[in-house]
Copies of this chain bind each other. A is one copy, B any other.
Amino acid sequence: MKISELSRRTGVPVASIKYFRREGLLPAGRATAATLAEYGEEHVQRLRLIKALTTLGGLSIAATRDVLTAVDQAETTDGTLRAISYALPVPVTAASAGDPDRDAQAEAAARADVADLIARMDWEVADSSPHVQALTTALRELRRLHADYRPEGLVAYAELAHAIAGLDLERAAALGDSPALAEQAVIVLALSGPVIELLRRLAQEDQVRRRSLG
């Protein structure tokens, strides 16, 4: 199909398709003339994936490129899952500086809480995991706001998060080994976040309403 048809099929404007081409997110079409290219179903599927990652997943163009590269290079489902897990952008990286003494104390306390939590949960995570640092930052900021989680409170959340990750992995691992299914694994891992968040918000809405009426 021509680029205009590809645009119509996916709802992605022609200018955006050209942009994704230039940024290396979308493979070239088959050249049929100096200025014309023919696109196939693989381009439709790839464009929908790009759109889902950038809009629903909230990924930057650079992060999307990293995830797509990981998908294209992985040879097994587990390799794909691992590559994707590390390539996905980390939700919180914001750091802040205040009183240096208090900051150091809050940072140390948050770091200890995270180490304690990981030990209690018996989680195997790399020392260099970006998620460990991000969670430390999040807990440090909550401490500075005097809204710190007690360790047992964190464990309650962690157990629910663990159950959710189990559902994610079951879905992803059931998909098999083909490249098309690797794309599905990305979708599950990258997009279950927004779905969970919306379900939590709906449940929150329900429980707030019941409290207000009660």
Contact = CB atoms under 8 A, between A and B. Distances in A.
Interface of A: 8-11, 48-49, 51-52, 55-56, 78-79, 81-82, 85, 88, 90-92, 94, 96-99, 103, 118, 121, 123-126, 129, 131-132, 134-135, 138-139, 141-142, 144-147, 149, 153-154, 156-158, 160-169, 171, 173, 184, 187-189, 191-212
A138 B10 contact: no
Given A135-B195, A209-B82, A165 B97 contact: no
Contacts of A162: 199, 203, 206
Contacts of A197: 91, 193, 196-197
A200 to B, nearest CB: 4
Contacts of A55: 92, 94, 96, 141
A166 B207 contact: yes
A199 B135 contact: yes
Nearest to A166: B207
Contacts of A97: 11
Contacts of A48: 144-145
A191 B161 CA distance: 15
B204 A158 contact: no
Given A52-B144, A123-B205, A124-B210, 13 more contacts: A9-B98, A82-B209, A91-B197, A123-B202, A123-B203, A131-B205, A132-B202, A138-B194, A138-B198, A142-B195, A147-B188, A147-B191, A160-B160
Identical chains bound together, number: 2
Dominant secondary structure of chain A at its interface with chain B: helix
B85 A199 contact: no
A191 B98 contact: no
A51 B158 CA distance: 25
A85 B204 contact: yes
Contacts of A202: 118, 123, 125, 129, 131-132, 135, 158, 161
